[in-house]
Amino acid sequence: FSNEVSGVPTGVAPRPTKNYTVTTNPPGLQVAVDGVTYTAPQEFTWEIGSTHSLSVPSPQIGEPGVRYVFGYWNDRRAQSHTITAPSSSSSSPYTANFTTQYSLTTSVNLTEGGSVSPSGTLWYKKSQRIALLARAKSGYVFNGWSGDASGLGSRVYLTMDGPKNVMGNFKLKPFIRVNTPNGGESYLVGVPVT
């Protein structure tokens, strides 16, 4: 004989449930609910009053040169936190909001000719305005921007409305030979480039 008993207990009503949606802004990013990763939006049926963990990885990579950095949950809680399923629900009660960032990659055509600042690959918020500055080394002059920037000025401004690639161009400073008065030795003088 077995001491196992099976059956449905009497007098215990099932706990009511509701549907809840966990999503992201922008949509389609990753969320972790109760330790399982999903692509948002994701709908869940939870018992009212049950507890659940919510978190999001950050940053999340999008298309080339685009990433998303966690900003805040609509309930203003931490990036990873625990919630209690409320008795009232809406279509999207839990939304993780992200900031879009774009990459800016800068380089130079001649490393011996000068440098640009900022240098390398950095990330900036969407619509942020960035100043780029070129500095020529001795014996070289700045010869303009190419890629996603243009102009001959050593300082240029970019608005980050997408991923950007910018090159600072340098060239050797031209020289002319000048003779000293009274037939002395000649010497070289740099000529400004226009």
Residues in the chain: 194
Is 172 exposed, middle or buried (CB count within 10 Å of its CB: 0-12, 13-18, 19+)?
middle
Q: Rounded to the nearest 5 degrees, what angle is found at the Cα of 187, between the Cα atoms of 182 and 191? A: 120
Q: Are strands 36-39 and 30-33 parallel, antiparallel or unpaired?
A: antiparallel
User: 0.85 cut: is pTM over it?
Assistant: no
Residues 107-133 as b/e (b if ≥16 CB within 10 A, e otherwise) read: ebeeeebbebeeeeeebbeeeeebebe
Least confident of 2-16, 98-112, 149-163, 180-194: 180-194
Q: What is the pLDDT of residues 36-80, one digit of tens each?
A: 999 999 999 999 999 999 999 999 999 999 999 999 999 999 999
**The pLDDT of residue 7:** 59
3-state SS class at 120: strand
Helices and strands in the chain: count of H runs, count of E runs = 0, 17
- Residue percentage of the chain with pLDDT more than 70: 81
Residue 152 zone, left/alpha/beta (φ > 0; ψ -120 to 50; rest): alpha
Is it the case that residue 14 has pLDDT exceeding 90?
no
pLDDT of residue 178: 62
